[in-house]
């Protein structure tokens, strides 16, 4: 069953406008405007109209079924937050409509209405009521909330004496106990200490598993791919992609490529290379041979290149792959050792990238074919961003994170042998 239906949703803001936008302005400016309008001396008609309209969302439509954990990604200003705001009803759409079956709660509202002078317990009531719980419901869940927030001793202390961590924990604890049918999340994992981050992540997963729906807006694409089972991509207020998180994240980095995971230049009749050698195709596949856009961080996968050598060359022609991070850093280059001079013919080269080696997140792969002549080398082709793969860390406690909820820095995240003993 669909719990959420969005139909043709649009939201317009008028920037600096006086009429529809109701933008805050000074009284003098408003009076001045109406005076000049009355006397027809309005000189800057263009400027007046030029208060530009801005469509934060334009004609968005999608449905969300029960149990979906939907990621919403897009660059700054793409309309992600506006969409959540409309869902939580803090702002109204300009056009279109939205149908919600059930109760929504949003973690945009962490600690909303908290008053620093009131105690933790009082603020639980305040915040809980604002989030839509009844008095009885709050009383019933009070113990669970206190336990989740880990603030037992400070329950009757005014929250102004709380540390920022305690404050956030209390806010999340209340919101997490609203028992919503749809939970709206906006970058919440960036808060709190590590242990608490894991707890929040667990709670979110639990909500998704119990057939609740989660809508998750984040810039942390790795968190999206770990948590969500579907993802939409917004660009300039429009929905440009709706599908698996891996595909959406690919689209986020690269708009036009449609065939990541598998490239077949031969079939397409495209010539990639020079007169000596050319690339026929390339693919990324899991160990069972299935082409893939995504690999589990624990599992190996293989990159296969098919190429043709047309002429006799004076040295070995070596296929090589360059793995790049989204920020443009080259993570590493892989090429075979001891490649022989094979002469004209068609060849297939496969490299296995081991599990627990790459970091989570997106890698784009540049494919190259190079002949080494001893004193110099010749690059027959270099195809940037030929393939892409999203490495997914399930963040379920099996990937050596010790509960860390963020993205590990680094181009790779290899697992090495460690020995730790007492001195």
Q: Which residues contact 39 (CB under 8 A, 6 or more apart)?
A: none
Would you state the structure tokens that stand for residue 314, as one six-digit string? 């004076």
Distance CA 72, CA 231 (A): 6
Q: Which one of residues 48, 53, 137, 254 is an interface residue with another protein (CB under 8 A)? A: 137
Does 175 bind another protein (CB under 8 A)? Our answer is: no
Q: Write down the least CB distance from residue 160 to another protein, Å.
A: 11
Residue number with CB closer to another protein (183 or 249): 183
Distance CA 205, CA 176 (A): 12
Which region among 102-110, 205-213, 249-257, 365-373 touches another protein (by CB under 8 A)?
A: 102-110
For tokens 């959540």, what's the residue?
84
Does 187 bind another protein (CB under 8 A)? Our answer is: no
Does 281 bind another protein (CB under 8 A)? Our answer is: no
- Using alpha carbons, list the distances in angstroms from residue 380 to 182, 184, 311, 367: 53, 50, 12, 11
Q: Which one of residues 49, 89, 161, 268 is an interface residue with another protein (CB under 8 A)? A: 89
Q: Are strands 294-296 and 377-392 parallel, antiparallel or unpaired?
A: parallel
Q: Which residues contact 360 (CB under 8 A, 6 or more apart)?
A: 222, 225, 226, 297, 391, 392, 393, 407, 408, 413
Q: Are strands 277-286 and 301-309 parallel, antiparallel or unpaired?
A: antiparallel
Residue 123 burial (10 A CB sphere; 0-12, 13-18, 19+):
buried
Does 132 bind another protein (CB under 8 A)? Our answer is: yes
Does 85 bind another protein (CB under 8 A)? Our answer is: yes
Q: Write down the least CB distance from residue 132 to another protein, Å.
A: 3
Residue number with CB closer to another protein (126 or 279): 126
Q: Write down the least CB distance from residue 198 to another protein, Å.
A: 26
Q: Which one of residues 67, 77, 96, 406 is an interface residue with another protein (CB under 8 A)? A: 96
Question: Per-residue string for binding with another protein, 139-168, x by CB under 8 A?
Answer: ------------------------------
Q: Write down the least CB distance from residue 210 to another protein, Å.
A: 15
Q: Write down the least CB distance from residue 90 to another protein, Å.
A: 5
Does 30 bind another protein (CB under 8 A)? Our answer is: yes
Which region among 16-24, 266-274, 347-355, 410-418 touches another protein (by CB under 8 A)?
A: 16-24
Minimal CA–CA distance to 330: which of 302, 363, 374, 299?
A: 363
Minimal CA–CA distance to 178: which of 102, 68, 72, 65?
A: 102
Question: Site residues for another protein, window 319-378 (CB under 8 A)?
Answer: none
Q: Using CB under 8 A as the criterion, which residues of the chain lie in contact with another protein when the complex forms?
A: 13, 21-28, 30, 85-104, 108-109, 112-113, 115, 117-118, 122, 125-126, 129-135, 137, 181
């Amino acid at each position: 069953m669909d719990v959420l239906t969005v139909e043709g949703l649009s939201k317009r803001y008028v920037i600096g406008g006086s009429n529809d936008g109701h933008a805050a302005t000074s009284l003098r400016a408003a009076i001045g405007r109406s005076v000049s309008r009355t006397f027809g001396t309005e000189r800057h008609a263009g400027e007046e109209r030029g208060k530009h309209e801005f469509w934060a969302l334009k004609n968005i439509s999608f449905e969300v079924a029960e149990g979906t954990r939907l990621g919403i990604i897009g660059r700054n200003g793409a309309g992600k937050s506006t969409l959540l705001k409309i869902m939580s009803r803090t702002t109204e759409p300009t056009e279109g409509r939205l149908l919600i079956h059930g109760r929504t709660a949003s973690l945009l509202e962490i600690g909303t209405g908290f008053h620093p002078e009131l105690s933790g317990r009082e603020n639980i009531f305040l915040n809980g009521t604002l989030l839509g719980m009844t008095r009885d419901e709050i009383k019933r869940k009070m113990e669970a909330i206190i336990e989740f927030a880990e603030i037992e001793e400070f329950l009757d202390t005014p929250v102004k004496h709380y540390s920022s961590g305690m404050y956030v924990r209390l806010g999340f604890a209340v919101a997490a106990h609203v028992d919503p049918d749809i939970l709206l999340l906006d970058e919440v994992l960036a808060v709190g200490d590590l242990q608490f981050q894991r707890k929040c992540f667990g709670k979110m997963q639990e909500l998704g598993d119990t057939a609740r729906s989660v809508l998750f807006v984040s810039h942390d694409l790795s968190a999206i791919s770990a948590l969500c089972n579907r993802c939409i991509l917004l660009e300039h207020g429009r929905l440009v992609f709706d599908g698996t998180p891996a595909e959406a994240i690919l689209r986020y980095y690269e708009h036009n490529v449609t065939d990541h995971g598998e490239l077949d230049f031969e079939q397409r009749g495209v010539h990639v290379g020079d007169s000596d050698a050319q690339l026929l195709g390339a693919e990324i596949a899991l160990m069972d041979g299935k082409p893939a856009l995504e690999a589990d961080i624990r599992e190996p996968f293989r990159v296969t290149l098919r190429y043709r050598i047309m002429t006799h060359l004076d040295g070995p022609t070596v296929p090589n792959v360059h793995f790049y991070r989204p920020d443009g850093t080259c993570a590493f280059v892989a090429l075979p050792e001891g490649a022989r001079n094979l002469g004209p013919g068609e060849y297939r080269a496969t490299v296995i990238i081991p599990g627990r080696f790459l970091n989570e997140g997106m890698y784009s792969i540049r494919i190259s074919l190079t002949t080494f002549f001893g004193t110099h080398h010749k690059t027959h082709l270099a195809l940037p961003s030929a393939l892409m793969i999203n490495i997914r860390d399930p963040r379920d406690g099996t990937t050596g994170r010790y509960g860390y909820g963020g993205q590990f820095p680094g181009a790779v995240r290899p697992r090495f042998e460690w020995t730790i003993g007492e001195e």
